[in-house]
Amino acid sequence: MAPIRIDVTSERGTYPVLVGAGLTASPTTTLGSIDLWGHALTTDRLIVSSPAVWKLHGTPWRGVAGKRGPVLIADGEKAKTLGTVSRLYEAFSANHLDRSATIIAIGGGVIGDVAGFAAATFLRGLRVIHVPTTLLAQVDSAIGGKTGVNLTSGKNLVGSFHSPAAVLCDPELLKSLPRREFRAGLYEIIKYGVIAAPDILDTLERDLSAIFDHRAAVLTPLIGKCCEIKARVVMSDEREAGPRRALNFGHTFGHALEAVTKYRRFRHGEAVGYGMLAAARLSVMRGLMTPDEEARLTRIIRSLGPIPVVSDLKSKVVLAAASHDKKVVGGKLHFVAADHLGKTVDIKDVSPEELKIVAKSIGLRT
C-alpha cells in the first residue's frame, strides 16, 4: 500500500507528512524521495533519539548521518527541560553543524519537542525531520511545528513555532509500544473525533480490538485521518491565534494535572483524557453538549483502560496550575468546550464557581 501523503503549508514552505507501514524500513530511500522546499536533503545530518528508542528502532538508521553517531537524550516529561536543550546545543556545536544541516528526531513527543526546539534556535534555525515512534506523536505533536520545553510552573512555557521539513509516520514502529503508551495516543485520537470528525468515535467503538492488535487496515487510515485534521487546522492558524485552539480540547485540565504531579504520574494522553471529561462537563453546563453526548464520550474514554487516580489531588492546586498555563491570554483562561460532537467553541469567561464544579466532576478533592 502506498503511503498516505498530506502536504502541510507553513510560513517556511510546504512539507510532507507521510503515513505508511514500513516507511522507515529503508530510511535512505525514503529520505531520498523527499523534496525539502525545492532542495534535496543534504548529507549534513544528525540524529537525535533516546537510548530505548535507538535500541528498538535504530538499526535501519545507522549510517544515515554518515559516521556521526546518534545524540541520545533521556525521554519522558522530566527530561523536557532547558538543560536537555543545552546538551543538544553542545552536541550540535561539537559536530560542527552549519545552517544547511538537518536534525532527524526519532522518538516520541518529548524527543520531537526538545529536538525541534533545539533545531529552531541553534544558528537561528536548522531543518528538522520528525520520525515519531509513539501513537500520540504520530497523530499530534510531530505535526504543526510547535516545539518547546517545560518549566516547573507549567508545561510548554518555553518554545517556538518551527515547522518540520518532513514527518514520517510508520505504524509498524508502534508495535513495540507498551499497551499503556499506545493507549495514551488513543486519547488524542478521541480528541479529533470530538473537535472535527465524530466518525472517528464510531471507528473506536467498532474497531477498538483491531486497533489494539495493530491491524494496518484499520490503524493506518485512522492515523492518516488524524494527521489530515491536524494539518487542516494548523494551516488555518499556524501560530494558534484562533482556530488552532480547538486542538487544546482537554488540555486545560490535562496540562494542570501533569504540572501538579511533576510529570510523573500521567502519560500526556491520560491527563488529556481527564481534561476531556472536564471539558465535556463544562460543555454540558453551558448547554453546548447534551448529557447523552457527554455519556458517550465518557464511555469511550473509560473503554481504553484504567487511568491513574486524581482523588488525592486538591482542586484548588490544580486550578492554580491551570491559571499559569500558556492558554491564559490577557489574564483570562481560554477554555475549549465541545459544541456537540464535531465542533468546538472557545470560552473566555469561565467563572471560578464553574471551574470548581468541573474539578469536582472528575474526582478532584475539594
Flag the least confident range among 3-7, 293-297, 327-331, 351-355: 327-331
What sign does the dihedral 286-289-292-296 (CA atoms) show? negative
pLDDT over 60 at 43, yes or no: yes
Report residue 40's pLDDT band, with 50, 70 and 90 as the boundaries: low
Average pLDDT rounded to a whole number, residues 118-141: 97
Verify whether residue 39 is a known catalytic residue: no
Annotated catalytic residue: which of 57, 80, 130, 146? 146
Annotated catalytic residue: which of 244, 245, 267, 281? 244
How far is residue 237's CA from residue 229's CA, in Å, rounded to a whole number?
Answer: 13
Annotated catalytic residue: which of 191, 251, 267, 281? 251
- Which one, of 249, 250, 342, 335, lies nearest residue 293 by Cα? 342
Average pLDDT rounded to a whole number, residues 1-29: 91
**Residue type at 196?**
A
Verify whether residue 11 is a known catalytic residue: no
Annotated catalytic residue: which of 230, 245, 267, 281? 230
Verify whether residue 268 is a known catalytic residue: yes
* pLDDT attached to residue 13: 85
Query: Exposed, middle or buried: residue 305 (CB in 10 Å: 0-12, 13-18, 19+)?
Result: middle
- pLDDT single digits (tens) 174-227: 999 999 999 999 999 999 999 999 999 999 999 999 999 999 999 999 999 999
- Which one, of 258, 291, 300, 250, lies nearest residue 274 by Cα? 250
> What value does the mean pLDDT of the chain take?
93
Verify whether residue 244 is a known catalytic residue: yes
Report residue 327's pLDDT band, with 50, 70 and 90 as the boundaries: low
Q: Which domains, and CATH codes, for the chain?
A: 4-176 (3.40.50.1970), 179-361 (1.20.1090.10)
The residue that leads in pLDDT, 324 or 285, is 285
Verify whether residue 162 is a known catalytic residue: no
Residue whose grid cell is 548521518: 65
CB 120 within 8 A of CB 290: no
Annotated catalytic residue: which of 77, 188, 258, 270? 188
* Partners of 9 in the β-ladder: 14
**What is the pTM assigned to this prediction?**
0.93
Annotated catalytic residue: which of 228, 240, 258, 294? 240
* pLDDT attached to residue 36: 64
How far is residue 46's CA from residue 30's CA, in Å, rounded to a whole number?
Answer: 16
Verify whether residue 124 is a known catalytic residue: yes
How far is residue 163's CA from residue 214's CA, in Å, rounded to a whole number?
Answer: 29
- Percent of all residues in the chain with a pLDDT value above 90, rounded to a whole number: 82
Annotated catalytic residue: which of 191, 225, 268, 281? 268
Number of alpha carbons in the 13 Å side-chain half-sphere of residue 253: 32
Buried-state track 85-100, b at ≥16 Cβ within 10 A, e below 16? bebbeebbeeeebeee
Coil/strand/helix, residue 346:
strand
**Residue type at 89?**
Y
CB 280 within 8 A of CB 339: no
Average pLDDT rounded to a whole number, residues 59-69: 94
H or E element in which residue 6 lies: strand 4-10
Verify whether residue 188 is a known catalytic residue: yes
Annotated catalytic residue: which of 245, 255, 267, 281? 255
How far is residue 318's CA from residue 96's CA, in Å, rounded to a whole number?
Answer: 44
